[in-house]
Every structure is written in C-alpha cells, then in structure tokens.
Amino acid sequence: MRERLQKLMATAGLASRREAERWIAEGRVTVNGQPATLGDAADLASDRVEVDGRPLAPAEGKFYLLLNKPIGYVTTARDPQGRPVVTDLVKEIPARLFPVGRLDLTTEGLLLLTNDGELANRLAHPRHEVEKTYLARVRGILTPEARQSLERGLTLEDGPTAPARIESVRASGSHTWFEITIHEGRNRQVRRMCEAVGLPVSRLKRIRFAFLELGDLRPGRFRLLNRAEVAALKRL
Ligand code: URA
C-alpha cells in the first residue's frame, strides 16, 4: 500500500510524523535512490526507502504481542534501578518493542507490546478511549454507595474521572473482588479511584484491553496477535 513517507517512518517507530517531515526536508530520505521531497509516497512492498542510507523495514517486520505481565516487572524498556523490565520477557522477538501504555510495578496482566510506534501511541492516547478491564481485590466491602461513586465518576486530585463500569462483584471474607472497566489511563487510576471510596487495592490484574482478553496465558508468557486482531486494533 502506498503511504506518505512520514507515515511509513512513524509506523516503523523511527520518528514522529513531524520529525520525519524534517528529515525529508533535510534530504536524509531517499526513495529508490532518489532524494525524497515532502509529500512523496511509497509502497514498502515495491519501493526501497532509505533513511540516512539505511533501509526502512517493510511492514512485515511489525510485531504485536500480548504479554501477561507479572508483578514486579517495570513497564519500560530499561530501568535505571536495575529492576526486571517487561522487555526482558520478550527477548526472543528480534525488534525493539514498546509497551502500549503502562501497568504499575505491582499490577499484573494484559500488556500489549509492539514495534509499531504509531499504533502504540494512538492506542495509549486517552482521546481514543480504549476500554480496559481490571480484576481488583480490595480491602473492605463494596457498599452500594461506593459502587455508585465509582460508576458515576468521582474527583481525584488531577480532576474528575469518567464513569466506570463495575461487574462480577464477589465478597470474600474481609475483601471484595470485582471487575472495573475504565477508558482513561491516568497514573494509578484504578488504585486511586478505589482508595477515594475507602477501598485500598490489594491486587490488580488487567484482564481485557478493548476486545483482547488475557485468557489463560500464564504470567511472564506472551502470544503474538493474529492478523485479524491487529487489523481490528488499527480500526479502533
Ligand atoms: N490502574 C492502576 O491503578 N494501576 C495500573 O497499573 C493500571 C490501572
């Protein structure tokens, strides 16, 4: 498929579209050996696009993984404190992968990783309102009032939250388990929402991201998304 060069470069995770446009203007990009100009398009299946003399990977070089992130792994590619990072778990994939959004150190569950930088940025952006469902265990009882606050939306120190969906509530001794679905992605959002209604989270696991389910994938294991799943993600 023919696409603008800046789009191809952004999809390859090389640069933002704006940065890519600058590189084109600076003459660092060629198509089939000819210097490219702004507005040029190419098809990576048939054209050879080079940036600083290095070929741009064809679209087949894209990887889309669904990982079950274990507790204790940092959602980043490198940690200055030397803690285990999620990319340690996908070393056999021959590409530099980025996590889509992030999970806290003590949160486990579904995390997407890809080297499709543009899709990663798009999916993680709050504007796209991708639904994420978490299985939470909280200390205390989810009273009807607490549930209503979560479902209506409440105010945190960084502003009001959108309404959340609460499902599958199950009391277990002094704890309550429930599923909570949000479509924002603020820092520690589920933990802070639950704390705001007096329910500290003692366990948090993401079990769904849009239409993708964690299923019975074991912690630390990943699977590649199939073509239909990737196409559906791009349509979100
Ligand atoms: N909400 C949280 O509080 N933590 C996460 O890791 C994800 C969502």
The reported pTM is 0.76
Under 8 Å CB-to-CB from 35, ≥6 apart: which residues? 27, 29
Confidence of residue 212 (pLDDT cuts 50, 70, 90): very high
Mean pLDDT of 88-116: 92
Quick one: tokens of 129?
């309102």
Q: Which residue has the higher pLDDT, 14 or 107?
A: 107
b/e map 81-117, b = 16+ CB within 10 Å:
eeeeebbebeeebebebbbbbbbbeebbbbbbbbbbb
pLDDT at 65: 95
Position 104 in a domain: yes
Residue 15 confidence (pLDDT) above 80: no
In this structure, the answer to whether residues 191 and 225 fall within a common structural domain is: no
Give the CATH number for residue 39.
Answer: 3.10.290.10
In this structure, the answer to whether residues 200 and 142 fall within a common structural domain is: yes
Residue 101 confidence (pLDDT) above 80: yes
Position 126 in a domain: no
Give the CATH number for residue 229.
Answer: 3.30.70.580
pLDDT digits (tens, 9 = 90+) for 214-231: 999 999 999 999 889 999
pLDDT at 94: 75
Choose which residue among 67, 68, 74, 103 to substitute to test ligand 1 binding: the one with the highest number of ligand atoms within 8 A of its C-beta: 103
In this structure, the answer to whether residues 157 and 96 fall within a common structural domain is: no
Instruction: Report the pocket of ligand 1 as residue ranges, CB < 6 Å.
Output: 103-104, 107, 188-191, 204
pLDDT at 95: 83
pLDDT at 233: 93
The 8-class DSSP code of residue 85 comes to B
Atom of ligand 1 nearest to the CA of 104: 6
Q: What angle do CA 168, 171, 174 make, to 5 degrees?
A: 145
pLDDT digits (tens, 9 = 90+) for 169-182: 999 999 999 999 99
Residue 37 domain boundaries: 3-55
Contact yes or no for 93/82 (Cβ under 8 A): no
Position 178 in a domain: yes
How many other C-beta atoms are found inside a 10 Å radius of the C-beta of residue 194?
A: 27
Residue 58 confidence (pLDDT) above 70: no
Q: CA dihedral in degrees (71, 125, 226, 88; nearest 10)? A: -30
How many other C-beta atoms are found inside a 10 Å radius of the C-beta of residue 151?
A: 13
Position 125 in a domain: no
Under 8 Å CB-to-CB from 174, ≥6 apart: which residues? 139, 140
Position 33 in a domain: yes
pLDDT at 127: 74
Position 100 in a domain: yes
104 is catalytic: yes
Contact yes or no for 70/22 (Cβ under 8 A): no
Mean pLDDT of 66-95: 92
Lowest-pLDDT range of 57-61, 143-147, 176-180: 57-61
Position 190 in a domain: yes
Position 10 in a domain: yes
Contact yes or no for 209/130 (Cβ under 8 A): yes
What is the total count of domains within the chain? 3
- 108 C-alpha to center of ligand 1: Å? 9
Mean pLDDT of 132-160: 97
